[in-house]
Amino acid sequence: MKNAFTLMVLVAAVGCASQTPSEHERLTVLQTPSSWKANSFWTIAVVDSKQRLIQSMTLRLTEDKGESCTNEDWYRAEVLAQEPAQHPQFQGMAAYQVTGRAFVLNLTANLCDSDNELRGELSETGVSGSYWSGGPLGGEFIGTFYGVMVADVAAPNKLLHATCETHAREQ
C-alpha cells in the first residue's frame, strides 16, 4: 500500500512538472474585454456534445466575495433563473473568477471536492468554453457553454435562444 501511494505521488509530481501552460493560463495574461463589468447580468446555455440543451440560466455576477474551498479570490454569482429546474449537478453556491480573458464559473464553489466548472474565454460579445464536472481524482467533460451579457433580465430566454442559434450557424 505504501509503495502504491509513493508511485501515485511520483506520477503526479512528474506529470505536473512536464505540463505546458494551459489554455486557461494563456487567457489570464490577455487584456480583459472592455465590455466586461462586474454586477452584470448574464444568460448562459450549457449544451452536451450533441448540442442538446442541458441547462440555461440567468445570473448576476456580483462584486461580493464568494464562498470557495480554495484560497483563490472568487466572487459570488447569483443564479436568478434556471431551466429546467435546478439540475442535480448545479447544486451549491456559484462563484466566478475573471482574470484577463479567462472566465471560470464554479456552480458548486462552496462544496469541497465537487467542481462543476464552466471554463472559457471572454470576448467583447460574450463568453464560451467547456463544462467540466469532477473532483480531486479527475474530471469529466460534460459539454460546452455560451453566454451573453444581458440588460433586460426579464427576457433571458429570447436572448438565450438567439445566442444558441448564432453559435450553431458559426459551427
Tell me, what CATH number does 143's domain have?
A: 2.40.160
- Nearest residue to 43 (alpha-carbon basis) of 33, 57, 55, 53: 57
Domain with 164 in it: 22-170
Cα 106 from Cα 32, distance rounded (Å):
19
Cα 114 from Cα 69, distance rounded (Å):
10
- Specify if 129 maps to a domain: yes
- Specify if 1 maps to a domain: no
Q: What string of pLDDT tens digits covers the 171 residues of the chain?
A: 444 433 333 333 333 333 345 888 999 899 999 988 889 999 999 999 888 998 899 999 999 998 787 777 899 999 898 887 665 655 678 999 999 999 999 888 877 777 788 999 999 999 999 998 877 777 888 899 999 999 866 655 554 555 555 555 555
Which position has the grid cell 450553431? 168
Give me the amino acid identity at 67.
E
- Specify if 13 maps to a domain: no
- Nearest residue to 62 (alpha-carbon basis) of 14, 110, 22, 105: 105
Domains held by the chain: number:
1
Instruction: Determine the pLDDT at residue 157.
Output: 52
Give me the amino acid identity at 5.
F
Cα distances (Å, whole numbers) of residue 21 to 17, 26, 27: 11, 7, 10
Task: Identify the H or E element spanning 24.
Answer: helix 23-28
